Structure 1
């Protein structure tokens, strides 16, 4: 386990933490309501970023007496994300807290300073539409090993499961982000050829995207679910779980592997949301009412377009002309199928 301390004065700034994999929805902007914390207490992640240094944008003149934004909110590469409740020994920087709605989004740069020396050390993000998190600036903190129980890495048979529909009856935003990342990997693995997907929930979340992004023609490659608890199957591409702690994909001997967030993969693999038809000839009414059908969202599934683009940017395949063509088309027309 580690704690993070101020690089300037050595003051401890966090609780004891264990590293986990970066969630697919870490960069997601969703709706206008308040979202929960990005991470579980006692964990931290490292965001590799997009490889570009975080610098002030070119200042623009004031318009109607209001200074326009001069900083990017994406931050530098290798920022350390932690749960807001795991922060210690910091104070807000008042001049960097303006311009938000229901909280702070970090648009003016680091907004938390070390209480000991005043050095800016972190950015708290908790505005509406953002997953709540505190990003420690990599140059302003340093890790220090501490005594504590070793992190237990869960077995593949213990993978969590997240339903596709939230409590309001809408598609879960975590599913929209996770499938968007998997879609970027699937696009790269397809080689530009059409891909068939298994019937059922996998087809429900992927087939529309495949039809929209890949060229028309007969399917040339085949996708199957593969992972713990499923029988081995031969296919061109395997959709496998990605471990939520280590970030490792399920080992598979298939030619191409597409990793999917473990909690989404588990639900696709082992949950059957088909509605049961009432049986004839006197099925007791109480039996039909005992297990109500799951809620159905009011629209077709839509992967998160911004998360898809960010995931595609990080893949070497984006340098291929046909992949770059898909990237440019989605970037220039973000509200067309399958993202609308």
Structure 2
């Protein structure tokens, strides 16, 4: 699962910088900065050592598809205080129209507009709502709604989209920023300070799981979206939360190469990388060598063969720069990072 950002906990709870999306997830074997275990293998490589593929510098970065579903799902989902929508069938249905209009490529574009082009979340959100045809909803509602947002740009933009759609339907909605999940989730559960927040399915599921069932509770979030949403719904009932429909858009841990590298080797998935290249240099946060969804998972699930691990950051500028400059072959990023090239 993801590391923490300011909007996440175990999967998403480290701090997030304003201009750069922070991220997480990590893995195994070998001390950070040392050779990363040489690559345990599976059927994807047949146990054979592959020729090393040199990193190829390039400005454009592309995420390789996690085709064997190593990562936990982290789709965007509206989280709502249950008491705030008692007798109101409109609010969640309006938020669901936002979910339906978002996919990961769209989310990358929204983040690029804010993080790279330096436009405001308000401007980007209003433009998105208009372009998606969400500014004239048929359903109408009323009442004051406070939409919460974590203190990073993606959350602010999503929260502003929610509020813009609700206002178009007749609600009196405004957005307030309330730090990280540890700060904003109690406010959402009580419903006094905030009634709606854009959330992340897998991260929130595990946060509530540990809150309700204890820090040592077995994980219930997985790569299965339906099963994870079912678990989240049950946990939400315990703390007074209900949820809208998850969006196809995801902000999850992902692994990127340069577009030039992908083109040179004709690869689009992690399985194809494992079948084609050995001697890879992996870049990511120090914990990557110890976490099952980072280096160990890449080795065990895909049979990827690593010659070296370089300790950098969690989806931040160090990792992206190292990829672009050809210092690492594969790097841990966030799937919705605005600097990524959208996938087809």
Fold-level match, TM-score > 0.5?
A: no
Which structure carries more helix by proportion? 2
Place the TM-score, normalised by the shorter chain, in its bin. under 0.3
Larger Rg belongs to:
1
TM normalised by structure 1 equals 0.26
